Structure 1
Amino acid sequence: MSRLLHTSDWHLGRTLDRHSREEDFDAVLAEIVGIARESQPDLIVHSGDLFDSSRPASRDLMRAMRTLDELAAVAPTVVLAGNHDSPAYFEFLGYVSGPSRGRGLFFVDQLRPPHDGGVLTFDACGGEQRIRLAVMPFVHPNRFWQHSSVFGTTYADYAEAMRGLQAELMAALREGHDPGRDILLFAAHVFVAGARPSRSERSVDLNEAYATAPADLPAVSYAALGHIHAPQPVGGVPFPARYAGSPLQLDFGEAGESKSVVIVDAEPGRPVRVMPRRLSSGRQLAHFTGTLDELRAMAPQFDGTFLKAVITGEEPDPLLGRTVAEIVPHAILVNAAPAREAHPGAVLDADPADEPELPDALRAYLAGRGMSGSAAEATVAAFAHLLTEIDDETPPPAPAEEMLQAALEHTWTEAS
């Protein structure tokens, strides 16, 4: 029997309203390593968004590599680049820490042809079985943009292209397939239509129009998916496909969610056994709405949590935050605000902490200017790509810099 450990969406470097989550990340990553050592998988898959930023801080790079090294000591570990990750960073990490250096770490930096890194093969059960894994890191819609197109990529273009890419991977998986020995798996960082987001994902990359249809997923024993932070199975497919989800509650859109990794036991030619393993490390996020007296009565249950409190029945008070903090001294108070009554003339009707992301703000602006549909979505997608793009080239020198350099190279000397 072969065993897979599936984890995803660590988002190392994520903070919560300027509160560090490093303590929580250290705790939950240690728990994941402990589960790996206990369960002894034949393969470990991380299905994308290792980091929260395309330019992670050095301490987050170290945190990631220490943990991945510990996992790779248990079993070969494959890490896909998600929409938050930098392909350039992944290429570098693969160069210094990959199989060419004798390590069991495989960084999938970008979509590759099936016969050039798109399908990976691993022995299992002492060589009696073989795991064949097709890998699809995040594929941006701009990949399919045609210069001849006025409006860029359309929804139909994206769906058709993704369908073709997945079909190519499936065809490669089946080449030389031995039904008595091989287990076929698919790992992808992709938004599948019908999946339930947590509201903490980057919304511009969860547009339903650019979703992959469940029926387009390759027919494998198990599909290990990343991108959605709420752990969940994918409906509409005749085989197990699952989002492992984020290991921590990343923001208050995930408050109350149970987090997990997934253990999958597989035998050639038989249905797999999928076993989500709940994670218990990391501080929880909690909401409270009610009066100060009600908060006093419930205060002990918020010990050790990140708390967002909305207080009802109080007049405006600049010291409300201090009062709430005194009532729940063992909670990390992220926000405390009085409840607001809706007013027809109010200009601000949302919590300032819920300010939309820049791509969403651009989409709203374009709609206000009369642009919608595929043209607007292509513009927003291009803008989002520019926000996260890594500039790997030396920036061009400024004109003043060029003039100074020319003067230094051709110094003027007085004629004798």
Structure 2
Amino acid sequence: MRILHTADWHFGKTLEGRDRIGEQRQFVDELIALCDEERIDLVLMAGDVYQTVNPSAEAEALFYRALDGLSAGGTRGVVVIAGNHDNAERIAAARPLADKLGIALMGLPKDVLAPTPAVAGQVHRVRAGMGFVELEIPGCRERAVIAAVPYPSESRLNEVLAQTLDERELQANYNQRIGALFASLATRFRPDTVNLAMSHVYVTGGMESDSEVQIQIGGAYAVDPIVFPAAAQYVALGHLHRPQAVSGAKVPVRYAGSPLCYSFSEAGQTKSVVIVEAQPGEHATWREVLLTSGKPLVRWRATEGLAQVQRWVEEGRDANAWIDLEVHVQTGLQLEEIHRLRDLHPGFVHIRPVLPAQDRAEEESAGAVDAPSMGELFSRFFSERNGVVPDDALVQLFLEMVAEVDADPDALDEPPADEESEGVGA
């Protein structure tokens, strides 16, 4: 059986207000074509379909287009689980239509799915229940049993995992509960089936980037690799945006990563999906397939000033990229100069002037970890305070307010003006 593992699509996510739905459409087309070329039997999408719990109609339409193309008219298995960014009920809402094509949509960890009627030449859900499906797929000699745990927070589990706020107790109880969930689901595995597990969790030791909203509180919502069932032949995970294997597990466990770079902390990363080959009774083998969709994220450090930036643009450097620009200047940047830079290249996202006095500090901190952007810091703060991810419109409004204060620090003390003022984001 040939399986494709993908995750963290984040449809509707922008880059500091820059629309990326066109890049996401390009990814969907590439993914569908890849499934056809590689003769994929089953697609596992391990959570975070959307960027927010209230996605745009455009983002939802792209999700349904992806499901339609990936299922290939019901001849290919598709299993989708909700991540921490998703509204679990929204993910499951299309189930009456999805079931007819053999597509399994799981929103909550305790969602109960039902078997589906057998239709000649289509995916057939032979057995199903809370957190698992057994699929019969056209052209496959074996059936697949998928044990799935969508993003398992306390609220989505509808359980209290600790009687105190002690982080160590919460972490121990959380690990125990997730392990128990998978142990129960693993009883559905059989020696004659391809046995797979999937979830949207943070595993201790995973490599994060700034584009992920934290799903662990300290280490409380981090799980140990041993929670995954040893009887699974492959475990497909979502949440971390860097493709990576999980060490310390008894079976192959991987994060597929996001299909696009979603923050400049991911600049230079190559995105991919995982193709898995599995047969009953043996550990699965896997390989990464690199993706070509989307614009790269790059950093420019123009130590020679504005003339160097203009020269790079004229040379066509990174013409189809999103750019984080650091330009060294003697006296700062005027508003007109910032406008001219943005006219030079539509891909400039950040423009940061560096004055001579800053050069030494920059050199000393060259090896430091990049700080999150203002938009990412706001998203984290809002999520921690309110329990949901802010939508892009709210983030953009916050960034515009910050830009106005940067342009005119006295604006905080002034009454609102009758006319809208123009702000510039660095």
Q: TM-score range by the shorter chain?
A: 0.7 to 0.9
Greater than 4 Å deviation, 4+ residue runs: 142-145, 340-343, 350-353, 358-362, 386-389
Cα deviation, residue 352, structure 1 = 9.9
Alpha-carbon spacing, 1:132–1:285, altered in 2? closer, same or farther (3 Å): same
SS, match of residue 107 in structure 1: strand
Cα deviation, residue 339, structure 1 = 1.5
Letter in 1 for 2:326: V
Of 319, 326, 330, which residue of structure 2 is paired with 1:310?
Answer: 326
Of 281, 290, 298, which residue of structure 2 is paired with 1:278?
Answer: 290
Alignment of 1:66-77 (within 5 A): 66-73=65-72, 74-77=75-78
Q: Do structure 1's residue 268 and structure 2's residue 268 form an aligned pair?
A: no
Is residue 167–residue 218 contact of structure 1 (8 Å, CA) maintained in 2?
Answer: no
Letter in 2 for 1:354: M
Letter in 1 for 2:262: L
2:130 maps to 117
Letter in 1 for 2:178: L
Is residue 204–residue 225 contact of structure 2 (8 Å, CA) maintained in 1?
Answer: yes
Is residue 144–residue 158 contact of structure 1 (8 Å, CA) maintained in 2?
Answer: no
1:217 maps to 228
2:49 maps to 50
Is residue 189–residue 227 contact of structure 1 (8 Å, CA) maintained in 2?
Answer: yes
Is residue 262–residue 277 contact of structure 1 (8 Å, CA) maintained in 2?
Answer: yes
2:377 maps to 357
Cα deviation, residue 22, structure 1 = 1.4
Q: Which stretch shifts more, 161-170 or 212-221?
A: 161-170
Letter in 2 for 1:197: E
Alpha-carbon spacing, 1:353–1:125, altered in 2? closer, same or farther (3 Å): closer
Where does structure 2 lack aligned partners over 5 or more consecutive residues?
113-127, 360-369, 392-426
Cα deviation, residue 222, structure 1 = 0.7
The structure with the largest helix share of the pair is: 1
Return the TM-score normalized by structure 2. Answer: 0.76
CA separation in 1, counterparts of 2:162 and 2:318?
A: 57
Cα deviation, residue 253, structure 1 = 1.7
Q: Do structure 1's residue 166 and structure 2's residue 179 form an aligned pair?
A: yes
Provide, for residues 246-291 of structure 1, a one-character-per-residue CA deviation record: whole Å limited to 9, x for no partner.
Answer: 1011121211111011100012222322011100011111111123
CA separation in 2, counterparts of 1:386 and 1:195?
A: 23
Alpha-carbon spacing, 1:98–1:207, altered in 2? closer, same or farther (3 Å): farther
Q: Do structure 1's residue 62 and structure 2's residue 74 form an aligned pair?
A: no
Is residue 273–residue 289 contact of structure 2 (8 Å, CA) maintained in 1?
Answer: yes
Is residue 131–residue 148 contact of structure 2 (8 Å, CA) maintained in 1?
Answer: yes
Alignment of 1:3-402 (within 5 A): 3-73=2-72, 74-95=75-96, 97-99=97-99, 102-112=100-110, 116-124=129-137, 126=139, 128-142=141-155, 143=157, 146=160, 149=163, 151=165, 154-175=167-188, 177=190, 179=191, 181-203=192-214, 205=216, 207-219=218-230, 220-290=232-302, 291-292=304-305, 293-299=307-313, 300-318=316-334, 319-325=336-342, 328-329=344-345, 331-339=346-354, 341=357, 353-354=373-374, 357-358=377-378, 360-361=380-381, 383-385=385-387
Please identify the structure whose Cα radius of gyration is greater: 1
Letter in 2 for 1:76: G
Alpha-carbon spacing, 1:351–1:233, altered in 2? closer, same or farther (3 Å): closer
Is residue 233–residue 283 contact of structure 2 (8 Å, CA) maintained in 1?
Answer: yes
CA separation in 1, counterparts of 2:161 and 2:43?
A: 39
Provide, for residues 349-400 of structure 1, a one-character-per-residue CA deviation record: whole Å limited to 9, x for no partner.
Answer: x9895255357548xxxxxxxxxxxxxxxxx86x3425679xxxxxxxxxxx
SS, match of residue 180 in structure 2: helix
